[in-house]
Amino acid sequence: MMEDVVLHHRLEGSDGLSDLIATTEKLLEPFPCRPPPVFTPWFSDSSARRPPPIRPAKCAPVINAADVKCRPEALKEGVGGTTNSPSVVDKKSASVAAMAVKRSWSVLASKSVRHRSPSLSKGFRHALSVHALHLRQRSKWVISQHNCGAVRDIEQVWQALSKAARRAGLPTCNANIQREHAEIWVFCDVAYSEQVGHFLKERLQLVGSIRLHVHKLGDVFRL
């Protein structure tokens, strides 16, 4: 429904303007002219004055141990008491094992232990000055398939890294495996990146050079 009608005419004179307006009004008479309906909100005024509650009105149901003992069939696998075939069980166990392997580890520095700033090499300091990197900026070491050698694959290196990370106190580090790229990404602060890089090469016995990647800058250093 149109609220306003705009009439365009040539600026030749205002003599015929009144006749033009009268003609336009006659042309618009067949069209119904209804006032717009009054807007009514779907919520009441009392609820509009106060914000909605953060928590739901009803609490979540609580299942205690007594309810579970009363219904032992709920603990059985399958629906309706049916047992799964060996193929289904094998698929489930394989999926669980795959999920366990895909998880990434994280190493968090303890608040009670203060990590000293490591000594940086001359080449690494030059890379910091060239790229204007901050010591608290995040970076990542990229371990590719060619760094694993001819005997091992990326999965074996990932398992060795997961075990070594639990024992070594790597500061500000976390890592994950990118299987679609066949790479392992080890994230750390720039201040500890050279120390972490030497640890990766020595403990994992990597071949070739690993590259240090920084977001929006690309590869900034190789070790």
Domain residue spans of the chain:
134-222
Q: pTM for this one? A: 0.52
Cβ burial of 109 (10 Å; 0-12, 13-18, 19+) is: middle
pLDDT at 110: 47
List the structure tokens of 169.
């106190």
**Closest to 159 (Cα-Cα) out of 140, 171, 143, 135:** 143
- Say how far apart CA 118 and CA 125 lie, in whole Å: 12
- Say how far apart CA 171 and CA 193 lie, in whole Å: 9
Residue pLDDT, tens place only, 138-183: 999 999 999 998 888 899 999 888 888 777 777 788 888 888 889 9
- Say how far apart CA 90 and CA 109 lie, in whole Å: 39
Cβ burial of 87 (10 Å; 0-12, 13-18, 19+) is: exposed
CATH of 134-222, one of 2.70.98, 3.30.1560, 2.60.120, 3.30.70: 3.30.70
When mean pLDDT is compared over 74-83, 116-125, 188-197, the highest value belongs to 188-197
SS3 state of residue 177: strand
